[in-house]
Amino acid sequence: MQIQVKRDNEYVPDIAKLVKKTKMTEYEILFEFVFDNQEVRDLFTYIPGQFVQLSIFGIGEAPFSISSTPTRKGVLQLGVRNTGDLTAAMHKLEIGDKVGIRGPYGNGFPINKLKGHNLLFVAGGIGLVPLRSVINYVADRRDDFGKVTILYGSRNPEERVFVDELEKTWSKIPDFEVLQTVDQGNDTWEGNVGVVTTLFKKCLVDSKESMALICGPPVMYKFVVRDLLNLGFARDEIFLSLERRMKCGIGKCAHCQVGHKLTCMDGPVFTYFEAERLQESI
C-alpha cells in the first residue's frame, strides 16, 4: 500500500533542498533532494517508475522519473538531462538551494506482477533513469525476483549514465547479467558496437517466466518490441514507459494525452498491449 501525504491543494509543492549533485555526463546530473518538512520526509514513498513534478520557482515545473528506490528510505534522486530552460536552471543549482516537489504521480511499474519472474531490462540513453529504480529495488529484494538481464545502449561511451553501478555493482550481483553497447565506440572502448537490439544475440534471453521492461528514446521501442515478440514475449509481458509534455501531472490539463489515455494517470508505464492500441504512442 502506498501512503500519500494528505494535502488540500495538490498543485502546491513541498519545499525540498538539494543535498547532493553528481555529474554523470556532459549533459546529465544525478540530483538528490531532501524535503524540508519532517512529516513529508517520513511519509514520502513511491513505486519505481513513478515521477514527480519539480518546480524551479520563476521558471516553471516539469516531470522527472524517480531514479532512486523506495527500498532505501529518505533518498530521492532524479537524473536530469540539460535540454531546456528548467533543466538548465536545475543544472545550475547549488547544494542547499530550494526547489518544489510534488507527487509521486503515475502508475509506476507493476512490482507485484514482476515478482517471481526473470526480468529483462532494455534501456537506451537516459531511459536507464527510471529503470534504475526497479533494478535497485530488485537488488534490495533479491529473493522476490528471478534472473536479471540488463541490456544498455548509448550513442557513445561518454554518454552512458550510472556507469559505476552497471560495471561495479549490478554486474557483480549473483544472477545479474549486464551487457552494454554503443552506437559509436572510441579509442578505449572494447565493448559491443551497434544498436541495443544487437545485444539480444549475445545473451540467453528466455521469454518463459520472464517480463521485459524497456525505456529509451521513442525510436528504440519499435525495434526492441519487434525482437521481444519474436523471442516469444506476450504483449502484456512487455512494459514500457512513455514521455509526453506535462503541465499538471494529475489528469487535468490534457497535455499528456496519448491516444485515448493520459500518460500521467494511466501511465507513464504501459504494457505493449496497451501501447499498441494508443494512437501515436510509439
Partner 1 sequence: MPTYTIRKDEIPKLVETLKEKYEVYGPVPRRTSHVFDKLDDVSKLDLDYDSTIMSPKKYLTPNRQVLMRVGLKETTLEDTANESTMDTPRILFGVHACDINGILFLDKVFGGKYQDVYYASNRENTTIVGLNCISPCKYGFCRSVDKNYVFEGYDLFLTEVSDTHYYVHVGTPKGDRIITYAPELFSETSIGDNDLFKTALRKKHENHPDELYLDYIHETLDMAWDDEIWDELGELCMNCGSCAMTCPTCYCFDVEDDVDLSLSTVERTRKWDTCLFHDFALVAGNHNFRGHPPSRLKYRFYHKFRAAIHDHGEIACTGCGRCIEACPAGISIKDVLHRLQDYWASSPTVTGG
Ligand X SMILES: Cc1cc2nc3c(=O)[nH]c(=O)nc-3n(C[C@H](O)[C@H](O)[C@H](O)COP(=O)(O)OP(=O)(O)OC[C@H]3O[C@@H](n4cnc5c(N)ncnc54)[C@H](O)[C@@H]3O)c2cc1C
- Give residues in contact with ligand X (CB under 6 A): 51, 60, 62-65, 79-81, 83-87, 126, 129, 243-247, 268
Q: Are 14 and 37 in contact (CB under 8 A)?
A: yes
Closest CB 218 distance from ligand FES, rounded Å: 18
Largest alpha-carbon pair distance within the chain?
56
Q: Which of residues 57 and 223 has its CB atom nearest to partner 1 in the complex?
A: 57
Q: What is the DSSP letter of 153?
A: E
Site string for partner 1, 184-223 (x = CB under 8 A): ----------------------------------x-----
Nearest-CB residue for ligand X: 84
Q: Does 155 bind partner 1 (CB under 8 A)?
A: no
Q: Does 278 bind ligand FES (CB under 6 A)?
A: no
Answer with the entry of partner 1, ligand X, ligand FES, none that 11 interacts with (C-beta below 5 to 8 A by kind).
partner 1
Give the whole-angstrom CA distance, residue 70 versus residue 186: 36
Q: Which of residues 62 and 240 has its CB atom nearest to ligand FES in the complex?
A: 62
What phi, psi does 53 have (nearest 5°)?
-100, 120
Closest CB 70 distance from partner 1, rounded Å: 20
Q: Does 251 bind ligand FES (CB under 6 A)?
A: yes
Stretch that binds ligand FES, among 70-78, 116-124, 194-202, 252-260 (CB under 6 A): 252-260
Q: Which of residues 110 and 146 has its CB atom nearest to ligand X in the complex?
A: 110
Q: Which of residues 129 and 264 has its CB atom nearest to ligand FES in the complex?
A: 264
Q: Does 253 bind ligand FES (CB under 6 A)?
A: yes
Q: What is the DSSP letter of 233?
A: -
Residues 6+ positions from 143 with CB-CB distance below 8 Å: none
Q: Does 11 bind partner 1 (CB under 8 A)?
A: yes
Calculate ∠ Cα 135-139-141, nearest 5°. Answer: 115
- From start to end of 129-237, where are the E strands? 148-154, 176-182, 192-193, 210-215
Q: Does 96 bind partner 1 (CB under 8 A)?
A: no
Give the whole-angstrom CA distance, residue 276 versus residue 211: 17
Q: Grid coordinates standing for 150?
A: 540488463
**Tell me, what amino acid is at 254?**
A
- Neighbour order of strands in the sheet with 60-65: 60-65, 51-56, 98-105, 14-23, 28-35, 76-81
Contact positions toward ligand FES, by CB under 6 A? 246-249, 251-256, 262-264
